[in-house]
Structure 1
């Protein structure tokens, strides 16, 4: 603070102990008690800086007044500033209030405008929807009128078509009557021709019977030859076994000879020859063993190849299911999009609940329209029924005409065949006449007596009489064959009807099986445990499936078919020989060569069949032993047929740990489905529970058999 009273006086220091001024700053010194002249004398140079006490007091008072005034002004300014600040804050608050009111009024104005626009849009939408409904109602009315008009036109057309159909039916009836008359006339004529030609056919039938007897004799001789060859083969096998036995004995003798002392030179020579024979035999045995091992390797490779093919087919089938699933997923997405677009396109529908109301309104309109259309449709249906009846009559007439044509063609073919046989008979007759004329000429030229001519003529006449009798027999046989053919046709028609009914029944059964399979798949998917997956589910599979057995059966059937074909060829050759007569004698040498070749082929095929049978039996026995050792069950397979003709394969399983022969499981395998059969063993309490759990509930036969194996093993070993 600034001091208002003067400070106390201080003693001056000697020799000017005052502080020196620094720069241009004004310094005021205190008055000293010394007299003024001394002071002036000693300090002449600083008179301008000295002033009196009064001057200082005056200056102080002025300064203090000015300072008080300045303080008062500052306080006034501060009060004014505070008032101004208060006024400013009040004005600012008022400004904010007015601004908020202005913004609120603007928002209310915008909301009012938006509500007005929404109301206008709703009004426009309602106007447009009402206009669209009105236009659609008009269009539907117009469409219904067009449909009514078209149905009326169809009715008129149907009436005209019925009239034309009646006219056509009348024309067809007239044509049918004409055709039936012509067919009856031709039938009578053909019956007469058949009766005339039946006699000649009987002669040819008797000749064919004689040829058949001769062929049967030859076949019997061929069978006896084959039996002789088989017996020779068995003798050779016995000799081979004896040779092998002698070989072993010689080998034993040689081993005994080596232990003895040195024998003479003859024994050495014999020993060397025997050693050479032994080496040759050993080489042959090695080659046979190599061939056997190669054959076994080839069979194993075939089995592995079949397994790899089956795996590949399974993988390809699983891969082929992927695009089907993707296609179904895309279809579902497309259907969803189409439904959404339909909902958007339906006028007056804003949500799925509105669709029901819309459909109910449309249904009412449709019912009203259908009530009007019903009367016209009933009349139209009556006309259609009449038309169908006429068409059925037309179809029946056409089928009868087609049957008559077929019978006519069959009769024509029979007539042609009989004419061909007549031509053959006439040719033979002409040949015989030519032979007779040549004989007569030779007799007239030579010195043959008339008695020989008479005997020749009598022999020819007797042969002609025999041929006439043969022709009569052929006619009788032809009539019998016709009766047999008619009966066979009736049986064929009956069988066709049965086939149609069976096909329908098969289709219904297939539908039922598909439905049951779908239900089974659904039930499997809804299993409580839900642990069916390819990762943790193990399925017991056989290494060698039944494909090997099927292949062997196919080879045997193919060989039997080849044998049958060769026998048929032999019969055909014999028939040609019998028909050719004298010409057959010239070709007899060539045919005998062919017969010999065919017999050789038959022998090779029979040998191959026996070899296949032995190999198949060996493989089956190995497979059964392997199944028994691997899975613990002896499997016996049996095939039979049900009364309806469906083939069924029955498998009988017996565990190697079974305590009695009655502990057997029986399964029926039919068209990919395996079912267990009830017997005394499966009707026991524990076994029945396991069947109910593993087979009925989880549909897992491998789990059932594995559980049974473990229980029987524990029963045999632990208890």
Structure 2
């Protein structure tokens, strides 16, 4: 058997083939036509034949090795080409997907542009509406300021009228006190006169009794004298009868004597007759004298009685005249007082009699207190309106700033959309260029260009992903801007509703002020609309200021949180710079507002403390009770306000009234002073039966006043 290659050469060829790199110059040595045929050598070939054979075998082995390496490289390149083709198909699919995604993004961008345009139009419309509302609000605020000035002037006039009413009330109270003092003096004088008249009546009764006794004695004496006179009269009648009988006898004797003895001398008879006639005359004169004495005695007694009666009448007439003079003076004083009262009644409206004056005083006091309370409430509500107007103006400024920020954000979003359009245009250009490159790559066979193509594709994919991420961020930013715009719209609507409610509240307060001014001007009083004074320490203005401070502090916290969030997002977009520029101004404004509100709160507290002290002193001087308020709590946790009332006419510190006020109901607390029989009887009548604490305190004040003044 003939060997084709010697072992040494074979080993060298294999070692050379193994040592050669697969990548060589790959040059082929042209060989003659007899290369295919192998000559059959003899058993002992010559040296040149062996050398050529060896060279041929060596070249053949090198060629075979190079051919095998080339085949392997071709297979590798075909596999790579197939993988590149598959990658190109996948890239085409991805490109189609990206194209679809880009078309979808373009549609979304167009839709977002349309929505943004509509939103911008709506924002512009809302901004114009807000500007118009702002102008209307400014106009309304100016009108409200004018009305506030008017209301402050009206409040000043109401305070002046209230002060004048207080002065008139004080004058009326002074007049009433003077009248009560004069009535007390008159009462004391009448009591003294009554005692004096009783003494005079007793004296006159004793005098009358003595006069009656004296008259009785005189009557008895006169009866005795009448009996004696009757006896004397009987004796005189008997004497007269005897004288008449003697006269008749004498006349008979004379007639007989004249008839029997006419011879007697006429001188003696005449003398005798004369004597007898003289005796008869004497007897007649004595009888007349006796009759005259009797009649004079009777007349004397009658005259004495008449004289005594006339003396008594004279004394009584003198007493009655003195009393009449006193009564005339008193009547003149009463007429003058009556005229003063009538003039006072004419000056006071709705008063027709004396009994209406205390009621009118009480009504005026209640009305003054009610007007003071209403004026305080109206001033507090006006201050609340001022605070609310300031809050509305601040919120309006905040809304304007937010609308400006929204406009800037919308502009930045529009710029971002334009950038996206430019990026999309550049992406489409890159896509077209990649298509061209893919066609060029199909023609090319080298691997270096494929690697560069793959790198370009990877870079483009990364750029597409970055663009998608930026689009996603822009979408989130747009959605966030939409949410902020919706929140701003809601805030604007809320502020508009607040402004409308404030306007309605201002109208209501103006109507109430006008009604109060009309009532105060006419002096009207209505018991149904009178509020009972309850000394509850409800600091409405203070609480409102605290609420506003808390709200501003909460808003400050929210702005600080927003500031932190914006600082975190500061380097990502230009929005953070825009917001960052406005936040310090907001913080300064909020801090200044908080300082102003704190100063206002302190001022409100000082004014309220001064007003409440004046109000308590006024209540003490008007109603006569010192009021002390104490907030307590029951075991079940229900808050109770206890009021301790002490009259200024109280004779000791134990004379106190205690009331508990809970959710609109007032109950009296039983203590040692209330448990007294007189006070408990009044409590039973006025509070339990009549359900009137005011009548109870008024009656107790009158009794304490009477005790104090009479003692």
Shared fold (TM-score, shorter chain, > 0.5):
no
Q: Relative contact order (alpha carbons < 8 A, sep ≥ 6): 1 or 2 greater? A: 1
Q: Which structure has the larger Rg?
A: 2
TM-score for the superposition, normalised by structure 2: 0.25
